[in-house]
Amino acid sequence: MSRMRLNCRLLATAQALPARVVPTAEVAALCGVPANVAEARTGVRERRWLSGSETALSLGVQAARDALGGAGLEVSDVDVLLNASGSQLQPIPDGAPLLARELGLRGRAAYSLHATCLSFLVALEHAALLLHTGRARHVLIVSSEAGSLGLNFAQPESGLLIGDGAAAVVVGQATREDQGVEAALFETYPEGADHTRIRGGGSLRSPHLLDVTREELLFDMQGLHVLRLASAILPDFLERLRPGLGRGLPGITRVIPHQASAAGLKLMERFGWPPGRTEVTLPHLGNVIAASLPLTLHQARAAGRVREGDTLLLAGTGAGLTAGGIIFRL
């Protein structure tokens, strides 16, 4: 847990979304669920899916370039590139060198931080550490997801949720003493490790094993089990992040949550968090895995709902089961 302030500044954010808009009725038909039931259950009206020549890599590169442009920086100004994506482009080399190659970034650090849906939060704390200690002047974080390519439509609760997209964030050195990470906390509860998983593709279920099935290469989620475990651990987790967060929003201007599901967002009302102070992108983007948090942050900034001087709570859960939260002063 980080209780020491890590001074840094959010310089710019950007997004890159697939052109194809997929209404829930279309996905519901693939899942064999009535469209009205699907939308009521998930809270998702539409999402974006890759099409044509689009890839998670091309979206990530576009978002990165737009974020650098928004910060007034060139690629050569980036000291560290962090790939913070839940869906891998390929196992080796990971997505960071591929992003660096497309961006023209050479001779600088480029690596991945993988914590499934919380990858961006882990990368944000890591970037803050680099900047606070003077190890870097500018850090570029890219979260780019193509979760639609691994969906199992025989599991409607996940098949109806996932969307594709990318977001990028540029973080630099602070200009005020109160800017940056005020607190950060990550906790893992491994009894939930089998609730959200892709079993195939690694060394435990190698493609060389004769009994490996296609389903093991697809996303597998037991949503009710995830929700029950999250409901049990989050109140105390939030109190450890900052006393009072389990029953209100002390010192918090706005909440930027991971867009896990309609039930997950509804859970926040139990903590006494007013819906009007919580950013929601689930209805029009779905759950975009690790990109959900930075996409939601970007859209809130673009709409002027978060401004310099605000204190944000960025929080959510990911596979593992891992809970994560960062309190960030803009």
Residue 324, beta-bridge partner list: 186, 316
Q: Cα angle at 321 between 281 and 272, to 5 degrees?
A: 50
Q: Which token pair is 58?
A: 């091309």
pLDDT in tens, the chain (330 residues): 556 789 999 999 999 999 999 999 999 999 999 999 999 989 999 999 999 999 999 999 999 999 999 999 999 999 999 999 999 898 889 899 999 999 999 999 999 999 999 999 999 999 999 999 999 999 999 999 999 998 889 888 888 999 999 999 999 999 999 999 999 999 988 887 777 777 667 777 777 777 777 776 666 777 677 778 877 889 999 999 999 999 999 999 999 999 988 888 888 888 989 888 999 999 999 999 999 999 999 999 999 999 999 999 999 998 888 999 999 999
77 to each of 13, 216, 290, how far by Cα in Å? 16, 41, 25
Res 218: pLDDT:
66
Q: Cα angle at 321 between 228 and 313, to 5 degrees?
A: 90
Spatial separation of the C-alpha atoms in residues 115 and 324, rounded to whole Å: 10
Residue-level length of the chain: 330
**Whole-prediction pTM value?**
0.94
Asked, colleague to colleague, whether 6-173 and 180-329 share their fold, the answer is yes
Using DSSP bridges, classify how beta strands 311-318 and 254-257 pair: parallel, antiparallel or unpaired.
parallel
CATH fold group of domain 6-173: Peroxisomal Thiolase; Chain A, domain 1 (3.40.47)
Can you say whether residue 134 is alpha, beta or left, with left for phi > 0 and alpha for psi between -120 and 50 degrees?
A: left
Res 261: pLDDT:
86
Give the number of other CB atoms < 10 A from CB of residue 175.
9
Spatial neighbors of 62 by CB under 8 A, at least 6 apart, are: 16, 166
- Nearest to 290, CA basis, from 114, 130, 148, 152: 114
The one-character DSSP state at 7 is -
CATH class of 180-329: alpha beta
φ, ψ of residue 187 to 5 degrees: the values are -140, 140
Res 3: pLDDT:
62
Helix, coil or strand: residue 84: coil
Residue ranges covered by each domain of the chain: 6-173, 180-329
Please give the radius of gyration of the chain, using alpha carbons only, rounded to the nearest integer.
19
Element (H, E) at 237: helix 223-241
- Nearest to 317, CA basis, from 232, 249, 244: 232
